[in-house]
Amino acid sequence: MSARGRPRLRLRHVRPSTQQQHRLLNHFVSRVPEPTEEQQQQQPQPPPPPTPPFRFTLAVKDNISTTTSPAAAAAAHPTTCASPFLTTYHAPFEATIVTQLRARGARLVGKTNLDEFGMGSHSTHSALGAVAQEPQDPSNNDEKNILQVSAGGSSGGSAVAVATGEADVALGTDTGGSVRLPAAYCGVVGYKPSYGMLSRFGVVPYANSLDTVGLLAPGVGRIGELVFEDGGLWAEHDPRDPTSLSVAARRRCAQGRVGYATAASAAGAAAGGWEGRAVGEGLLRGLRLGIPLEYNIEELDPRIRDAWAQAAKKLQEEFGARVVPVSLPSTRHALAAYYVIAPAEASSNLAKYDGVRYGVRDTEAASDAAGGVLYAASRGKGFGDEVKRRILLGSYTLSSEAMDNYFIKAQRVRRLVRRDFNRVFALDNPLHERETFDLTDLDESIAMEDKWGPEEVDFLLCPTAPTLAPRLEDVMNQTPVDAYMNDVFTVPASLAGLPAISIPMPVASGIAGEVAGGSGTAGLQLIGQYWDDARLLAVADAVSKTLLGTIPAR
């Protein structure tokens, strides 16, 4: 291994924002300059395909492939995944999700920084340096004294781009919480859809069975419009992504679900818009919200615990929601299972980066004959420490001697986690047969509704992360396992493929020196049953407005 520490490859195609305070955030890998009027008039003679009218600006996490249109060749942006291996990689094709959003009026403003290949919880493991979020007190703008605060990861750059207002919507990827966690730290909304709803084609995979494309925005509304308004993303099958649900499966899953535009209702809904159609007034009345007891862990920051309790109380007392304690007994094993499965898939996915086609080939060790180290040397130099750590972890758990004890066991845990969710949700999971559940491992404090078991719920209500956004300085001193702890509340929904969303919730102002998220909020997470995304977004919108009074200021 090289004597160097974490590779810090400075690759800046465009200096970050003209705003001075943004200079330190390091949230963009490359930017697309705004088209000037002159450029727009000088369109080349063969007219490009008609672009839809501009509706919103879009930042894209740099592990999602984008191509550069010939007109903007001067601002070509690579797809680096924040890895030294891909600093010069220009994708020859565009990810389906980017194309879909362009068709809906998105204008790409840039590619955002991340943890290398999406592996990390603070966007610090980047070849381009760590991402920081906006300091809480912009008046104290002395560079030396600014408290640099974690933006969360791995979609930290995307969350910051939304928080600073540089993008109306940002794309992230959520494998074990990588959209929800930065959303929680940065005080924005982060939505992870049901697995198989949004196309992954063109998304550089970290762990395929967990990866989802997620959306970040200042409020829930914009996300709801994009996914569920007429011509919404939810209905589009991508034939190039084998894990994208077929149109028939989408229809079947949507049966009996609220908020999905059907042929019959489409015409009537056209006038109302997403919010009006989906649910409207009184949505929260009678809604059953589950509080998972296993999520009240020792490591939970007391301010977050209080805010969580306050939120639940407010929803129950003032808006008529029913708050029910529920038990998810497999939660304690979920994090361990995630950190077996995700690195295993990662070690496989990253095998292609060997210096032969990508990155720099170490020519000193030119032989790959028995005992040769052609690939070993190139891979040793081309990956950052966190990625190497996960590749080694994954290679070990897949090795013939460890397979049964780690990978297979983790897959069993994954099933148990999914079963836990199926047991507490009132709706059935359309991907699985209904099963009967053993109630013996339930927490004793759970009351039985009838002889069949405890009361079932519509959504789970829990924090997104156990702590507020930490200082970057503290993050750097954490052990890897400390960092993994941040994912404890987000990983279960990822393992089960369920939709989840993180919305800002107010926290009591911090003790001196401690930092809440950039906006003085923490993340409140709502988890729904599979393909209950439409209702999840509608409820999240209502809860969000309830908790913050109005749509978040920014």
Partner 1 sequence: MKRFSPAELSRYLLTGQLSRRGCLHARLPRIPGRAPFRPTQARTFSAQVDTATSLPPNSTVVPLRKQLKDQAKALKATGKKKKKNADNQTVPGWELTVGIEIHAQLNTARKLFSPAATSFNDRPNSHVALFDVAMPGSQPLFQPETLIPAVRAALALNCAIQPVSRFDRKHYFHWDQPSGYQITQYYHPFARDGRIALHARDGIASEDGDGVEIGIKQVQMEQDTAKTTAQPGEVHWLDFNRVGLPLVEIITLPQIRHPATAAAFVRKVQMLLNSVDACVSGMEAGGLRADVNVSVRRTEDVASGPLGTRTEIKNLSSFKAVEDAIIAERDRQIAVLEAGGVVEGETRGWSLGSTETRRLRGKEGEVDYRYMPDPDLGPVVIGEDLVGHLASSMGVLPDAEIDELVGTYGLSSKDALSLMLLDDGARVQYFYNVLEALEERLGLAREAEYDQRHALLAANWCLHELGKLTDLASDLGMTPDGECQVPSADLAAILSHLHRSEITAKVAKDLLWSVFRGEITAGGVTQTIDAANLWFKELSEQEYAELADQVVEGEDKVMGEFLRFKRGKAKAYPQGKLMFLVGKMMRAGPEQQMDPASAERVLRARIESVYLPALEAS
Q: How far is the CB of 213 from partner 1 (least distance, A)?
A: 11
Whether 534 contacts 260, CB under 8 Å: yes
Candidate ranges 68-76, 157-165, 354-362, 517-525; the one touching partner 1 (CB under 8 A): 354-362
The whole-angstrom separation of Cα 501 and Cα 163 is: 16
Q: Does 363 bind partner 1 (CB under 8 A)?
A: no
Catalytic residue, chosen from 154, 244, 519, 544, is 154
Of the residues 83, 178, 502, 544, which is catalytic?
Answer: 178
Residues 268-327, interacting with partner 1 (CB under 8 A): none
Q: Which is nearer to partner 1, 121 or 199 (CB)?
A: 199
Question: Torsion angle, CA of 288/293/297/298, rounded to 10 degrees?
Answer: 120
* Residue 201 within binding range of partner 1, rule CB under 8 A: yes
Among 26, 29, 77, 89, which residue interacts with partner 1 (rule: CB under 8 A)? 89
Q: For this structure, is 154 an active site residue?
A: yes
Please state the closest distance from residue 180 (CB atom) to partner 1, in A. Answer: 21
Using rule CB under 8 A, residue 356 touches partner 1: yes
Residue 11 has, within 13 A of its CA and on its CB side, a CA count of 25
d(CA 229, CA 407): 40
Please name the residues in contact with 247: beta carbons below 8 A apart, sequence gap of 6 or more: 235, 237
Instruction: Identify residues 367-386 at the interface with partner 1 (CB under 8 A).
Output: 368-371, 375
Tell me: does residue 203 bind partner 1 (CB under 8 A): yes
Chosen residue from 12, 15, 23, 240 binding partner 1 by CB under 8 A: 240
Q: How far apart are CA 76 and CA 106, in angstroms?
A: 18
Q: Which stretch binds partner 1 (CB under 8 A): 31-39, 43-51, 268-276, 364-372?
A: 364-372
Q: Which of 388, 438, 421 is closest to 494 using CA atoms?
A: 421
- Name which position in 266, 309, 351, 360 contacts partner 1 (CB under 8 A): 351
Show the DSSP H helices in 147-262 as ranges. Answer: 156-163, 180-186, 220-228, 247-254
Of 89 and 425, nearer to partner 1 (C-beta) is 89
Burial class (CB in 10 A: 0-12, 13-18, 19+), 365: middle
**CB of 69 within 8 A of CB of 87?**
no
Tell me the CA distances in angstroms from 253 to 32, 35, 438, 499, 552, one per residue in order.
38, 42, 26, 13, 32
Total residues contacting partner 1 (rule CB under 8 A)?
Answer: 46
Two tokens, residue 292:
């998972």
61 noted as active-site residue: yes
Choosing from 112, 347, 490, 529, the residue that interacts with partner 1 (CB under 8 A) is 347
Asked if residue 43 binds partner 1 (CB under 8 A), the reply is no
Cβ pair 140, 115 in contact under 8 A: no
Which of 352, 363, 435, 449 binds partner 1 (CB under 8 A)? It is 352
Comparing CA positions, the residue from 288, 286, 291, 287 lying closest to residue 325 is: 291
User: Among residues 61, 111, 192, 381, which one is catalytic?
Assistant: 61
Residue (of 151, 153, 188) closest to 169 by Cα position: 188
Give the nearer residue to partner 1 in terms of CB position, either 305 or 415.
415
Distance CA 193, CA 401 (A): 36
Q: Which helix (H) or strand (E) holds 220?
A: helix 220-228
Binding mask 47-86 for partner 1 (x = CB under 8 A): -----------------xx-------------x-x----x
Which residues are paired to 462 by β-bridges?
525
When the beta carbons of 369 and 511 are compared against partner 1, the nearer one is 369
* Residues 48 and 39 sit within 8 Å (Cβ to Cβ): no
C-beta closer to partner 1: residue 214 or 463 = 214
Q: Which is nearer to partner 1, 339 or 425 (CB)?
A: 339
Please report how close the Cβ of residue 13 comes to partner 1 at its closest, in angstroms.
19
454 Cβ contact list (under 8 Å, min separation 6): 324, 326, 327, 424, 442, 446, 447, 448
Q: How far apart are CA 280 and CA 338, in angstroms?
A: 37
Among 17, 21, 69, 243, the residue binding partner 1 under the rule CB under 8 A is 243
**Judged by CB under 8 A, which of 152, 193, 205, 384 binds partner 1?**
205
Give yes or no for residue 92 binding partner 1 (CB under 8 A).
yes
Tell me whether residue 196 or residue 290 sits nearer to partner 1 (CB atom): 196
Question: CA 238 to CA 383: how far, in whole Å?
Answer: 31
Q: With binding defined as CB under 8 A, does residue 209 bind partner 1?
A: yes
- C-alpha–C-alpha distance, residues 85 and 116, integer Å: 10
In the range 387-416, which residues lie near partner 1 by CB under 8 A? 395, 398-400, 403, 407
* 72 versus 431: smaller Cβ distance to partner 1: 431
Q: Is 354 in the site for partner 1 (CB under 8 A)?
A: yes
Residues 94-113 interacting with partner 1 (rule: CB under 8 A): 95
Q: Which stretch binds partner 1 (CB under 8 A): 45-53, 129-137, 142-150, 194-202?
A: 194-202
Instruction: Give the Cα separation of 260 and 237 in Å (integer).
Output: 15
Distance CA 531, CA 283 (A): 18
Per DSSP, what are the bridge partners of residue 404?
none
Shortest distance, CB of residue 94 to partner 1, whole angstroms? 10
Under DSSP, is residue 287 helix (H, G, I), strand (E, B) or coil? coil
Binding site for partner 1 (CB under 8 A): 64-65, 79, 81, 86, 89, 91-93, 95, 200-205, 207-209, 239-243, 344-345, 347-348, 350-352, 354, 356-358, 368-371, 375, 395, 398-400, 403, 407
Catalytic residues: 61, 154, 178
